[in-house]
Amino acid sequence: MPESGKIEITVQLGKRSYPIRLGSGTLPELGPALQPLGFEKRIALISNPTVYALYGQTVLDSLTRAGFDVTLIKIPDGEEYKNLLWTEFIYGELLKARLERGSCLVALGGGVIGDITGFCAATYMRGIRFVQVPTTLLAQVDSSVGGKTGVNHPLGKNMIGAFWQPSLVWADTSVLNSLPAREFAAGMAEVIKYGVIRDKTFFEYLEKESGPIKKLAPGNLMHIIKRSCEIKAEVVGLDERESGLRAVLNYGHTIAHAVETLTNYKKYLHGEAVAIGMCAEAKIAVKRGLLAAADHERIKALAAAYDLPAGLPDGLISDQDLIQAMLMDKKVQSARIRAVLPVGIGEVRMETLSDSDFYKL
Ligand SMILES: NC(=O)c1ccc[n+]([C@@H]2O[C@H](COP(=O)([O-])OP(=O)(O)OC[C@H]3O[C@@H](n4cnc5c(N)ncnc54)[C@H](O)[C@@H]3O)[C@@H](O)[C@H]2O)c1
């Protein structure tokens, strides 16, 4: 069921509810879309040189034409700049431009730009509003929605942060045409995750339509982003601060974070590590008798169909190293490793793991 036209999904959070607007070729319409939101005239556009070179002028023109006085702030491209040093740089630019409590920050970029901009918005002048304009698949289906903002600390990734919801998510799917294929595949890992945790029909759609999706057929692209955002919006709406249900979104991530740490964040993109984690956690579920072996095979086959790794690489990481890295994770409670395991396609359950689960993984 390919989708077309413009789509709006609401993240239902009472007074903090906000729309996700999906469309193709909609960047030039961003300015008018911000007008009714009641921001001050002075706003800031935050991006990196890679994304700005592709889409910055279009966005800047649209905002300026809509009457905004825009301060442009660029930070270098890369995860290593999502830190407190560059947060302070952004604060400095905002102060120099005299942005006020009624001002707004616009994040134009992938998850790195979205996370640091959101964190600046959460903390500048005790909190100002911000708008997400996600430009990677991962950001459109995951990081721009849900209000987790933050930066890295030398001692750990995403260790400094805040829950701070955007006022609007404006996703233009046409920008994905310039995304490197490896980045697109990494975003697909999160899309597959939504199928496994909550929607068997969606999983089957991803199996059947891998050809057109990988070719970025507009209708298919719109459908997978829409369904992913619907699932994320539903889960976040029920459990904003991850006191329970929201943890299902971490399927694949317990092992993914350990793999990323053990490979110094260099060998794999986040989504690739998530694909490894989803396949490995499904294998644990099979070993525990919770999941049919055939479903584990389907998850692996789907990851492979989207050019993602389908399990831990042989000999790269020992089970003891994996366990140690997981014990360091911020989600570990009282030295117990908990993970979301699939019990079928479309259904997951939280389980406490033991060392033996990691044997010959
Ligand atoms: N807040 C959350 O809930 C959440 C969830 C998942 C991930 N994250 C965070 O997201 C970050 C990863 O995000 P990402 O995968 O988007 O990576 P990214 O932001 O580093 O973007 C990947 C690369 O693609 C480039 N790029 C972006 N859009 C492009 C486009 N349209 N065309 C060409 N190039 C483009 C970027 O400049 C960058 O080089 C991590 O820091 C992770 O911690 C946050």
Catalytic residue annotation: 126, 148, 190, 232, 242, 246, 250, 253, 257, 270
Going by their DSSP bridges, the two strands 104-109 and 42-47 should be labelled as: parallel
Q: What is the mean pLDDT of residues 305-329?
A: 88
Side-chain-side CA neighbours of residue 338 (13 Å): 15
Asked if residue 124 lies in contact with residue 79, where contact means CB atoms within 8 angstroms, the answer is: no
Dihedrals phi, psi of 98, to nearest 5 degrees: 55, 45
Topology at the third CATH level for domain 7-178: Rossmann fold (3.40.50)
pLDDT at 1: 59
- Work out the average pLDDT over 327-336: 72
Bridging pattern class, strands 337-344 and 347-353: antiparallel
Distance 109 CA to ligand 1 centre (A): 7
Reported pTM: 0.96
Across 230-263, b (16+ Cβ under 10 Å) vs e yields bbbbebbbeebebeeebbbbbbbbbbbbbbbbbe
Whole-number pLDDT of residue 329: 74
SS3 content of the chain, % helix, strand, coil (to 5): 50, 20, 30
Q: Please state which CATH class domain 181-358 belongs to.
A: mainly alpha
Ligand 1 pocket check for 83: Cβ under 6 Å: no
Domain boundaries, the chain: 7-178, 181-358
What's the CA-to-centroid distance between 216 and ligand 1, angstroms? 18
With a cut of 90, say whether residue 334 has pLDDT above it. Answer: no
Q: Return the DSSP state at 333.
A: B
Confidence of residue 332 (pLDDT cuts 50, 70, 90): low
The arithmetic mean of pLDDT across residues 171-175, rounded, is 98
7-178 with 181-358: one CATH topology? no
140 CA distance to ligand 1 centroid (A)?
Answer: 9
pLDDT one-digit tens code per residue, 264-315 = 889 999 999 999 999 999 999 999 999 999 999 999 999 999 999 998 888 8
Is 111 touching ligand 1 by the criterion CB < 6 Å? yes
Sign of CA dihedral 10, 27, 215, 109: negative
For 300, half-sphere exposure in the C-beta direction (CA atoms, 13 angstrom radius) is: 15
* Ligand 1 atom with least separation from CA of 148: 1
pLDDT at 335: 74
Q: How confident is the model at residue 244 (pLDDT cuts 50, 70, 90)?
A: confident
| H or E segment and range at residue 7 | strand 7-11
